[in-house]
Every structure is written in structure tokens, then in C-alpha cells.
Amino acid sequence: MAGTKTLLMLENFIDGKFFPCNSYIDSYDPSTGEVYCRVPNSGEEEVEAAVEAARAAFPGWSSRSPKERSLVLRRLADLLEQSLEELAQAESKDQGKTITLARTLDIPRSVENFRFFASSILHHTSECTQMDHLGCLHYTVRAPMGIAGLISPWNLPLYLLTWKIAPAIAAGNTVIAKPSELTSVTAWMMCKLLDKAGVPPGVVNIVFGTGPRVGEALVSHPEVPVISFTGSQPTAERITQLSAPHCKKLSLELGGKNPAIVFEDANLEECIPTTVRSSFANQGEICLCTSRIFVQKSIYSEFLKRFVEAARLWKVGLPSDPSASMGALISKAHLEKVRSYIKKARAEGAQILCGEGVDKLSLPSRNQGGYFMPPTVITDIKDESCCMKEEIFGPVTCVVPFDSEEEVIKRANSVKYGLAATVWSSNVGRVHRVAKKLQSGLVWTNCWLIRELNLPFGGMKSSGIGREGAKDSYEFFTEIKTITIKH
């Protein structure tokens, strides 16, 4: 372990104040494999203190007008934006992603999350119907749920955390958030801005630590009626079990095994670079990343050749290198897990056309212990292989041929997940037809990851329950009531 003096020490943020913890967890720099930060190892005691603070803050915060809350969110967005460079540097170091991605995607989107919900909260209306023959008027009202528990993963740390905090507090809830123990730094940095933005003490509380300790204490707490979670399917199952006795409201945004379907009339000039990006952006650590590429037989050889050439140009480098396309994976355990899939593919007789075990990385000696691997393309693989069925969540993608539209839809739908698909074709009719038949919460055609935050985001089948977005998040973080007036 590195000298304790040099380590960054995080603290919990409860009731507007920072508190040290009795116990800490080591957090690693993915580019070197060295410990550089210590994260509070919180548990029930810290959750209890956060619940007390959130409970006390709720009456004041929930009775403010949407406009007053909106102003606070906007100020927070401005303050985050003023710290963009500092936050981007921290996110890149903590997560292993490139500084370019942190600067252009993670932190700008975190800012946008607050701006977006600051605006959308001003525009909701409720329903009203009449029954004149009975002299009745019916209408609905919505009220915040109370204390929201928010649990987020390590791949897009501040981006996904703020995607939950912003709609929850905009709707008048108070929150207890638990970022991933692997990437807690930017959440802790954001806490320093809350008071200046005008967020009252107790409205946003952040407790750091592991899932089994602090995550479960939060999920099991009887005074936390609503849990929003983004992460893996096994953890979602555990959260569902723990929430069941309390009938909690759950939003579960889980993994994917996302297909890209490339028809023979696709514009390959656009399709190839975008599909390289959709496969390898953020080291393939985005739930929306492509991991199965189905290519129509007539263009299969040409596609494969050009795709592998383009994948080889996807430069692996230090997270701090502005010219790198990809940095380091999140952890040693995760790197080993991702590599194990490639080993299995090889054992099954698949071909590894580039990447792990084929291409060598050139890294400075200080980074030899970092969690790097090259973008990897697998082919000659069966649909039944675990590489074609399970979420790998790394820079690995499989390319396979198909004959007909009907066949490819069936194969694309043959996995347990249903999060995001891409369809590449210049035939508008086909694009609509295929998009409608895919079992997928999101379908991008001739593009990838163009986000319209107003519209529902989320998956079907094992990719989750519920949707996030302007209306969906508002409905999730509020309780509805129908009132009947007889006049």
C-alpha cells in the first residue's frame, strides 16, 4: 500500500456536513493498480444518521415550490460546470476512462442532468376528468415519496448518480445516495458544492461504502420507500428480495447484450466508426455498448476486414492522454473476468481477430500493473456461446453473419437482456419494421447513443424494470392520488 499520508481520504456527507468513518476501504488507480484513495466503509450507523437528516429536511424541501427547487438545481449545475476540468481529471483518474471522455461526456452530462430536471419539473400537469351526470369532478395530484435511496455503479460515476439525484430532489424528495465504492471521488467533490448552490442540509446525503454493508442497510431501511438502482442483475435480485417485505417502489436499470444489425444497404462509412465506438467507448463499460454484431452475408467479409482495421486504430493509452480512445478497465477482478471470456471463446474454437492475446500494448513501466486490454474482436462464434449470451462489460465484441431479416430479429432477441439495439440500413421501411420487432427498450438506427432526455430510458426482460426520463422519473419519484369532488 502507498504511504497513508499521500492518500486521498473521503468522508461521508450527512446533514450538510462531512464526517469521517471508523473504517475505510482502499480505492485503486486503474492505470497503475496502486491504492490512491480511501473510501468510508459505512454501514447501518451511517445510514441511520442519514435517514434522520433526510427525514428532518423533508418537510421544508418538499413544501418549496417547483420553481424554488429548480433555481437550486440550476445553481448546482452552474457550479459543477465551473469545476468541469477538475471533476473530469478526478473522474478519469478514479475510473480509468480517458480524460477526453470525462471532459466531453461524463461531466457535461452531469451538469445537463441538473439543468434538464430544473427545467422539466416546471412543466408537469395533472389529469382531470368530469362525470357531470353524477356532479363529480376527478383529478390527480402528485406528492414526493419521502426519502429516496439511490445506488449507482462505477462505469459512469457522476453521470449516473446525478441522473438519479436531480429528478429525485427536483420532485421534492430528500435523498440518500450510495455511489460505487470503486468510484466515489466525484460524488464527494460534488458534496462540497451543495451548500453554495443552496441545497439545504439533509436534502442530499451521501454515504460511501460497499453494497453488502451500506447498500443493504439503505435498501432494508423501513423509512426509505423508494430505491433507484443502476448496476448488475444479481444485485438487482438481492435488492428486490430485501425490498419485498416493505413493498418498496423500485427502478432497476440493469445490463445488456446489445445487438448491432448491419444490413447490406448500410452506409459503412458511418456504420463502421460508430460501431467501433459503440463497442469500445469507455472500455466497453457502458450498459448500452454493442457486443453482438450481426452482418448480412453479402457484405460480411468486407465489413469484418474494415471493422478490424478500425478497431486496431482505437488507441489504448493512459487515461490522462488526450489522444487515447480507451483507458484502463475498472479493476483487476473485472479485467480478469473480461479476459476469461476470451479464453472461453478460444477454447470453443472461435477466432480472435484482434486484441487480447493478438495485439501487444505499449505502456510506460509505471503502468504495467494497470488494468489495460486492447479492443478485441471475436468471430466464428456460435450464438449459444457465453460470449454471445452474457454481459461481458469490457472492450470485446463478436461479429457474426446472417441471411434474412426474420432470422436476424429472432437471433437478436434470443438473449435474456433487452436494453439497446442498433440497426444499420438505408431502407426506411425496414428500419421501422425491425425496430418494432426487437425486444429492446432503446433502438438507435444509423446512429448510437444520441440521447433525448425527455423520453423513456431503460430496458425490458432482464435489463430492468421501469424507465427514466422527464415524465418517467417524475412519476417514479412521486406518489399519485386521485381526488373526487362532488359538487
Catalytic residues, by residue number, are 253
Q: Residue 185: which region, alpha, beta or left (left: phi > 0; alpha: psi -120 to 50)?
A: alpha
Which of ligand NAI, ligand LQKPKE2M, none has residue 451 at its interface (CB below 5 to 8 Å by kind)?
A: ligand LQKPKE2M
What's CA 402's distance to the chain center, in Å? Answer: 31
Q: In angstroms, what CA-CA distances link 350 with 113, 385, 413?
A: 42, 10, 22
What's CA 183's distance to the chain center, in Å? Answer: 13
CB-wise, 152 or 174, nearer to ligand NAI? 152
Residue ranges in contact with ligand NAI by CB under 6 A: 151-155, 178, 180-181, 210-212, 215-216, 219, 230-232, 235, 238-239, 253-255, 287, 334, 391, 393
CB-wise, 156 or 199, nearer to ligand LQKPKE2M? 156
Cell of residue 255, nine digits: 445490463
| Least distance to ligand NAI, CB of residue 13, Å | 16
Which of ligand LQKPKE2M, ligand NAI, none has residue 239 at its interface (CB below 5 to 8 Å by kind)?
A: ligand NAI
User: Which position's Cβ is nearest ligand NAI?
Assistant: 211
C-alpha 346/C-alpha 393 separation (Å) is 18
CB-wise, 88 or 288, nearer to ligand LQKPKE2M? 288
Which of ligand NAI, ligand LQKPKE2M, none has residue 238 at its interface (CB below 5 to 8 Å by kind)?
A: ligand NAI
| Least distance to ligand NAI, CB of residue 211, Å | 2
Could you say which DSSP state residue 285 is in? Answer: -
Tell the burial category of 407 from Cβ atoms under 10 Å away from its Cβ (0-12, 13-18, 19+): exposed
Task: Give every strand in the sheet of 136-144, ordered side by side.
Answer: 128-131, 136-144, 478-486
| Least distance to ligand LQKPKE2M, CB of residue 153, Å | 6
Residue 250, helix vs strand vs coil: strand
CB-wise, 159 or 307, nearer to ligand NAI? 159
Contact between 317 and 327 (Cβ < 8 Å)? yes
| Least distance to ligand NAI, CB of residue 170, Å | 22
Cell of residue 365, nine digits: 513501466
CB-wise, 87 or 453, nearer to ligand LQKPKE2M? 453
| Least distance to ligand LQKPKE2M, CB of residue 474, Å | 16
Which of ligand LQKPKE2M, ligand NAI, none has residue 180 at its interface (CB below 5 to 8 Å by kind)?
A: ligand NAI
Q: In angstroms, what CA-CA distances link 57 with 54, 68, 77, 199, 402?
A: 5, 15, 21, 10, 57
| Least distance to ligand NAI, CB of residue 220, Å | 9
Residue ranges in contact with ligand LQKPKE2M by CB under 6 A: 153, 155-156, 160, 163, 230, 253, 286-288, 451, 457
Over 156-200, what HEC string results? CHHHHHHHHHHHHHHCCCEEEEECCCCCCHHHHHHHHHHHHHCCC
Contact between 419 and 461 (Cβ < 8 Å)? no
Task: Give every strand in the sheet of 396-402, ordered side by side.
Answer: 351-354, 376-379, 396-402, 290-296, 258-262, 420-424, 442-445
User: Which position's Cβ is nearest ligand LQKPKE2M?
Assistant: 287
C-alpha 205/C-alpha 190 separation (Å) is 11
The residue among 22, 114, 121 whose CA lies nearest residue 68 is 121
User: Which contiguous run of DSSP H or E holds residue 44?
Assistant: helix 44-62
| Least distance to ligand LQKPKE2M, CB of residue 105, Å | 9
| Least distance to ligand NAI, CB of residue 99, Å | 21
Which of ligand NAI, ligand LQKPKE2M, none has residue 184 at its interface (CB below 5 to 8 Å by kind)?
A: none
CB-wise, 88 or 288, nearer to ligand NAI? 288
Which of ligand LQKPKE2M, ligand NAI, none has residue 156 at its interface (CB below 5 to 8 Å by kind)?
A: ligand LQKPKE2M
Tell the burial category of 449 from Cβ atoms under 10 Å away from its Cβ (0-12, 13-18, 19+): middle
CB-wise, 119 or 427, nearer to ligand LQKPKE2M? 119
CB-wise, 76 or 442, nearer to ligand LQKPKE2M? 442
Residue length of the chain: 487
C-alpha 186/C-alpha 95 separation (Å) is 10
